[in-house]
Amino acid sequence: MNFKVLGTGCSNCKKLELLTKELVTELNIDAQVEKVEDIEEIMRTGVMSTPALLVDGKLIVSGYVPSRDELTNLLKNI
């Protein structure tokens, strides 16, 4: 699996990256977590609001940092 956290480096983007990495480890998900900060690359994905999380190219979260419980549920159901 490929996880991409999209964001230019704001505090919320950093929070989503950290939370995603923590949950990937805790849930024992075999995934690579990548942080994408390049605005042109973010724009190519079509995402209009950051922070955002893509899982294998599918948009899971956009425009906010989900709670730990919400993100856990999202990741368990992918």
Q: Is 10 among the catalytic positions?
A: yes
Q: How far is CA 41 from CA 1, 5, 19, 33, 38, in A?
A: 19, 12, 22, 16, 5
Catalytic residue, candidates 13, 33, 47, 71: 13
Catalytic residue, candidates 10, 18, 43, 48: 10
Q: Is 17 among the catalytic positions?
A: no
Provide the 10 A C-beta neighbour count for residue 3. 22
The residues assigned a catalytic role are 10, 13
